[in-house]
Amino acid sequence: MYQFYRNSKDDAAIINSLGKIRGSIQRYVKLILVKDESLDVTEVERTVNELISQYENDNIPFLESIKTTWSNIKELSDKYLKDSNHSNRQLLINESEKIWETSENLVRSKQYSSENDMVYLLLPVAFLTLEFFVGIGLLYIVKKYVYDNLESITLYDLLTDVYSRRYFFELLKGEISKAQRKEYMFSVIMFDIDHFKKVNDTYGHDKGDYVLKTIADIVKSSIRKADALSRIGGEEFTILLPDTNIDKATALAERVRRSVEDYKFDVVGRATISLGVTEFKADDSSDTLFKRVDEAMYLAKNSGRNCVKVNSGGVQ
């Protein structure tokens, strides 16, 4: 039983290690897309290379796939910097999405492995006790333990305890389906922590994690219970707002922005966020709606940061 518990903890550690690599690669792609000369892309690239090198000896599944994707991302980044057209931008975004697919594959593989470990664990117990119903009881307890832990890893971000990127898209698809069946409106906010890399570089990753968790707590206290806060990237979050039009969503985004701006963080001092807002349109898919709110957020960052921008079809 102890070995089984230890394997489950090891699985969580491996998933967390992959999350660090994934977050750094997403940050690199974001910096390339923003094309802000004041941001040090080279430093982020070095961090990704160091993380991959660090975990090469840890037997992390799918690491070779990540290395291949990372190489492709760097090639596409060079191409995008030379010619920043929509096609090159989309190729770079699509390649970066493979990192999230790899993470989901890892979670699924660990779930399958844990289920097999559970079966092998219970066989000797059943034979030794010769108690069929005791064996069934143990099967239920251990299976529930496995599913509860792996479901938590799948649904929630391990650091901030808000919803994960994967679960955000499940919720988004559900809202779109609901809106298409009846007259129903919902909105989405996406926000990014301004100059977050500077926080990590100046105060260390522990303080960076503290800022991420604190901002997540501030936002959770500013939204309704029905609203869903998710962490979708290194320092990027979304808020799914059911039964909310774009005017109400914009007002909420501004309240959230002020709440973060007014908070005094230990050691770090002040932090700000840039927010984009959009609402559902009748012909929307998950991809089109996400792309629209993503564009609004990047407009906010390119407009001086610490502001709210709306994209209702034509960016405002």
**Residue 227's CATH number:** 3.30.70.270
Asked, for residue 44, whether it belongs to a domain, the answer is yes
Residues 85 and 149 in one domain: yes
Asked, for residue 296, whether it belongs to a domain, the answer is yes
Asked, for residue 315, whether it belongs to a domain, the answer is no
Question: With 90 as the cut, is the pLDDT of residue 93 above it?
Answer: no
Domain end residue (candidates: 132, 155, 178):
155
pLDDT tens track for 139-184: 556 555 445 554 445 688 889 999 999 999 999 999 999 998 888 8
The DSSP H or E segment spanning 274 is strand 273-279
Residues 169 and 125 in one domain: no
pLDDT band with cut points at 50, 70 and 90 for residue 1: very low
Contact in structure between 27 and 83 (CB atoms under 8 Å): no
Domain end residue (candidates: 131, 155, 179):
155
Residues 151 and 7 in one domain: yes
Residues 103 and 184 in one domain: no
Active site residue 235: yes
Residues 61 and 144 in one domain: yes
d(Cα 2, Cα 276) in Å, to the nearest integer? 47
Asked, for residue 126, whether it belongs to a domain, the answer is yes
Share of the chain above pLDDT 90, in %: 46
Give the Cα-Cα-Cα angle 181, 182, 183 (nearest 5 degrees).
Answer: 145
pLDDT of residue 62: 66
Residues 135 and 181 in one domain: no
Task: Pick the closest to residue 272 from 172, 209, 194 (CA basis).
Answer: 194
pLDDT tens track for 259-306: 999 999 999 999 999 999 999 998 999 999 999 999 999 999 999 999
Of 45, 95, 235, 236, which residue is the catalytic one?
Answer: 235
Residue listed under structure tokens 């230990």 = 266
pLDDT tens track for 209-253: 999 999 999 999 999 999 999 999 889 999 999 999 999 999 999
What is the number of domains present in the chain?
2
pLDDT band with cut points at 50, 70 and 90 for residue 109: low
Residues 267 and 239 in one domain: yes
Residues 194 and 223 in one domain: yes
pLDDT band with cut points at 50, 70 and 90 for residue 6: very low
Question: With 60 as the cut, is the pLDDT of residue 126 above it?
Answer: no
d(Cα 77, Cα 82) in Å, to the nearest integer? 9
- Give 215: exposed, middle or buried? Use CB within 10 Å, 0-12, 13-18, 19+: buried
Beta-bridged to residue 190, according to DSSP, are: 238, 276
Residues 146 and 17 in one domain: yes
Per DSSP bridges, beta strands 273-279 and 308-310 are: parallel
Domain of residue 115, residue span: 2-155
Strand order in the sheet with 236-241: 228-231, 236-241, 187-193, 273-279, 308-310
